[in-house]
Structure 1
Amino acid sequence: MATWMWIILVLVALAAGLVLGFLGARKYMEKYLKENPPINEEQLKGMMLQMGQKPSKKKLNQMMNSMKRNAK
Protein backbone atom coordinates (compact mmCIF):
# COMPACT_ATOMS: atom_id res chain seq x y z
CA MET A 1 0.00 0.00 0.00
CA ALA A 2 1.24 3.47 -0.80
CA THR A 3 2.30 5.86 1.92
CA TRP A 4 -0.43 8.39 1.08
CA MET A 5 -3.09 5.72 1.63
CA TRP A 6 -1.74 5.04 5.12
CA ILE A 7 -1.84 8.73 5.93
CA ILE A 8 -5.47 9.00 4.78
CA LEU A 9 -6.39 5.87 6.74
CA VAL A 10 -4.81 7.28 9.92
CA LEU A 11 -6.58 10.64 9.48
CA VAL A 12 -9.96 8.97 8.92
CA ALA A 13 -9.47 6.75 11.99
CA LEU A 14 -8.45 9.78 14.07
CA ALA A 15 -11.50 11.78 12.97
CA ALA A 16 -13.84 8.85 13.68
CA GLY A 17 -12.28 8.34 17.11
CA LEU A 18 -12.67 12.01 17.99
CA VAL A 19 -16.33 12.09 16.95
CA LEU A 20 -17.22 8.85 18.72
CA GLY A 21 -15.29 9.87 21.83
CA PHE A 22 -17.05 13.23 21.98
CA LEU A 23 -20.51 11.69 21.56
CA GLY A 24 -19.80 9.01 24.16
CA ALA A 25 -18.49 11.52 26.70
CA ARG A 26 -21.48 13.79 26.13
CA LYS A 27 -23.96 10.96 26.64
CA TYR A 28 -22.15 9.83 29.80
CA MET A 29 -22.17 13.35 31.29
CA GLU A 30 -25.88 13.85 30.52
CA LYS A 31 -26.68 10.56 32.26
CA TYR A 32 -24.42 11.41 35.22
CA LEU A 33 -25.96 14.84 35.75
CA LYS A 34 -29.48 13.43 35.48
CA GLU A 35 -28.74 10.82 38.16
CA ASN A 36 -26.65 13.17 40.36
CA PRO A 37 -28.03 16.69 40.16
CA PRO A 38 -25.49 19.38 40.97
CA ILE A 39 -27.50 20.72 43.94
CA ASN A 40 -30.07 19.13 46.22
CA GLU A 41 -32.62 20.47 48.69
CA GLU A 42 -30.31 20.19 51.70
CA GLN A 43 -27.57 22.18 49.98
CA LEU A 44 -30.09 24.82 48.94
CA LYS A 45 -31.38 25.05 52.51
CA GLY A 46 -27.82 25.51 53.78
CA MET A 47 -27.14 28.28 51.27
CA MET A 48 -30.32 30.11 52.27
CA LEU A 49 -29.39 29.88 55.94
CA GLN A 50 -25.93 31.30 55.18
CA MET A 51 -27.55 34.22 53.37
CA GLY A 52 -29.66 34.96 56.45
CA GLN A 53 -32.97 33.71 55.03
CA LYS A 54 -35.24 31.32 56.86
CA PRO A 55 -36.06 28.63 54.30
CA SER A 56 -39.65 27.44 54.32
CA LYS A 57 -40.69 24.20 52.63
CA LYS A 58 -42.74 26.17 50.10
CA LYS A 59 -39.80 28.42 49.17
CA LEU A 60 -37.45 25.43 48.86
CA ASN A 61 -39.91 23.65 46.57
CA GLN A 62 -40.31 26.77 44.42
CA MET A 63 -36.56 27.17 44.04
CA MET A 64 -36.00 23.48 43.27
CA ASN A 65 -38.78 23.49 40.65
CA SER A 66 -37.35 26.68 39.13
CA MET A 67 -33.89 25.10 38.92
CA LYS A 68 -35.30 21.94 37.31
CA ARG A 69 -37.19 23.99 34.70
CA ASN A 70 -34.07 26.01 33.89
CA ALA A 71 -32.00 22.84 33.54
CA LYS A 72 -34.21 21.52 30.73
Structure 2
Amino acid sequence: MLYGVLGLLIGLVIGFFAARYFFKKNLRKNPPINEKMIRAMFMEMGRKPNETQIKRIMKSINDQYK
Protein backbone atom coordinates (compact mmCIF):
# COMPACT_ATOMS: atom_id res chain seq x y z
CA MET A 1 0.00 0.00 0.00
CA LEU A 2 2.79 2.40 0.94
CA TYR A 3 4.65 1.68 -2.30
CA GLY A 4 1.53 2.45 -4.32
CA VAL A 5 1.03 5.84 -2.66
CA LEU A 6 4.73 6.66 -2.93
CA GLY A 7 4.77 5.66 -6.61
CA LEU A 8 1.69 7.78 -7.29
CA LEU A 9 3.25 10.85 -5.66
CA ILE A 10 6.51 10.44 -7.53
CA GLY A 11 4.60 9.94 -10.79
CA LEU A 12 2.56 13.09 -10.20
CA VAL A 13 5.66 15.19 -9.55
CA ILE A 14 7.51 13.84 -12.58
CA GLY A 15 4.39 14.22 -14.73
CA PHE A 16 3.92 17.84 -13.66
CA PHE A 17 7.47 18.86 -14.56
CA ALA A 18 7.43 16.90 -17.83
CA ALA A 19 4.13 18.51 -18.89
CA ARG A 20 5.44 21.95 -17.95
CA TYR A 21 8.62 21.40 -19.98
CA PHE A 22 6.77 20.20 -23.09
CA PHE A 23 4.18 22.99 -22.84
CA LYS A 24 6.88 25.68 -22.70
CA LYS A 25 8.78 24.03 -25.56
CA ASN A 26 5.62 23.99 -27.68
CA LEU A 27 4.90 27.66 -26.94
CA ARG A 28 8.43 28.63 -27.99
CA LYS A 29 8.05 26.78 -31.30
CA ASN A 30 4.46 27.92 -31.99
CA PRO A 31 3.80 31.23 -30.26
CA PRO A 32 0.13 32.15 -29.83
CA ILE A 33 0.77 35.59 -31.32
CA ASN A 34 3.11 36.70 -34.08
CA GLU A 35 4.29 39.97 -35.62
CA LYS A 36 1.52 39.99 -38.20
CA MET A 37 -1.11 39.84 -35.44
CA ILE A 38 0.56 42.67 -33.54
CA ARG A 39 0.54 44.83 -36.67
CA ALA A 40 -3.16 44.09 -37.17
CA MET A 41 -3.94 45.06 -33.55
CA PHE A 42 -2.09 48.36 -33.93
CA MET A 43 -3.93 49.10 -37.19
CA GLU A 44 -7.28 48.38 -35.51
CA MET A 45 -6.40 50.94 -32.85
CA GLY A 46 -5.62 53.46 -35.59
CA ARG A 47 -1.87 53.49 -35.05
CA LYS A 48 0.92 52.76 -37.49
CA PRO A 49 3.44 50.59 -35.64
CA ASN A 50 7.13 50.87 -36.30
CA GLU A 51 9.49 47.91 -36.29
CA THR A 52 10.97 48.85 -32.90
CA GLN A 53 7.60 48.67 -31.17
CA ILE A 54 6.81 45.31 -32.74
CA LYS A 55 10.20 43.85 -31.80
CA ARG A 56 9.83 45.14 -28.21
CA ILE A 57 6.38 43.54 -27.86
CA MET A 58 7.59 40.24 -29.33
CA LYS A 59 10.59 40.24 -26.96
CA SER A 60 8.36 40.80 -23.93
CA ILE A 61 6.06 37.97 -25.03
CA ASN A 62 8.98 35.61 -25.63
CA ASP A 63 10.54 36.49 -22.26
CA GLN A 64 7.40 35.25 -20.53
CA TYR A 65 7.87 31.74 -21.93
CA LYS A 66 11.39 31.28 -20.59
TM-score interval, normalised by the smaller of the two chains: 0.7 to 0.9
Percent identical residues: 37
Gapped regions of structure 1 (runs ≥ 5):
1-6
Moved over 4 A (4+): none
**Is 1:53 matched up with 2:25?**
no
The one of 2, 8, 20 aligned to 1:14: 8
Over the aligned positions, Cα root-mean-square deviation in angstroms equals 1.8
Aligned length: 65
Normalising by structure 2, report the TM-score: 0.78
Q: Give the greater-gyration-radius structure (CA).
A: 1
Gapped regions of structure 2 (runs ≥ 5):
none
Normalising by structure 1, report the TM-score: 0.73
Higher relative contact order (CA 8 A, sep 6+): 2
